[in-house]
Amino acid sequence: MVCIYCGGSTRVTNSRSQKRSNATWRRRSCEKCSAVCTTIEVIDLSTAIIVTGSKRPSPFSRDKLLVSIYDSCKHQKDAQTSATLLTDTIIKHLYPLIEDASVSSRTIRDITLKTLGRFDTVAGVHYGAYHPVKA
Ligand SMILES: [Zn+2]
């Protein structure tokens, strides 16, 4: 990885696996200017998981989920932070439900609705109204 300060090569000086977020945290040090930075390695869900059950199967989009949660949290003072943290929580709950690298849109909806409802009733009701169960 390239240093963000000088463009030199970096080396990993510390690394930790984060089970809760299914990520790997790494501290890096520049071999040229000795600057230190942190990287977080996560699975690229858009290349790994297919969403099934609505229209055609499509790649999972964290951004699409984030936007729908943000829309439901707009009434909060710090909607952006809430939506980001809620998205991470929902994805964490989705991991064990992924089978054969796919997850249904219904499962995403149900987990999102449950998580949002626990966090903020208004956000849960808003999300449910805009994401009805399709027959
Ligand atoms: Zn550097």
Q: How far is the CA of 35 from the centre of ligand 1 (A)?
A: 5
Q: How far is the CA of 7 from the centre of ligand 1 (A)?
A: 6
| pLDDT of residue 65 exceeding 70 | yes
Structure confidence by residue, pLDDT tens digits, 112-134: 999 999 999 999 999 999 988 87
Structure confidence by residue, pLDDT tens digits, 1-38: 999 999 999 999 999 998 877 889 999 999 999 999 99
H-state helical runs in 1-135: 45-48, 62-72, 79-94, 105-119, 121-130
pLDDT of residue 135: 61
Q: How far is the CA of 11 from the centre of ligand 1 (A)?
A: 11
pLDDT of residue 47: 82
Q: 105: closest CA among 59, 47, 38, 39?
A: 59
Amino acid at 115: T
Q: Which two tokens stand for residue 71?
A: 């829309």
Q: How far is the CA of 48 from the centre of ligand 1 (A)?
A: 32
Q: How far is the CA of 10 from the centre of ligand 1 (A)?
A: 7
* pTM of the predicted model as reported, rounded to 2 decimal places: 0.77
- Ordered by start, the domain boundaries in the chain are 10-42, 45-130
At residue 63, the 3 state secondary structure works out as helix
Distance CA 69, CA 113 (A): 10
Q: Tell me if 41 sits within 8 A of 26, measured CB to CB.
A: yes
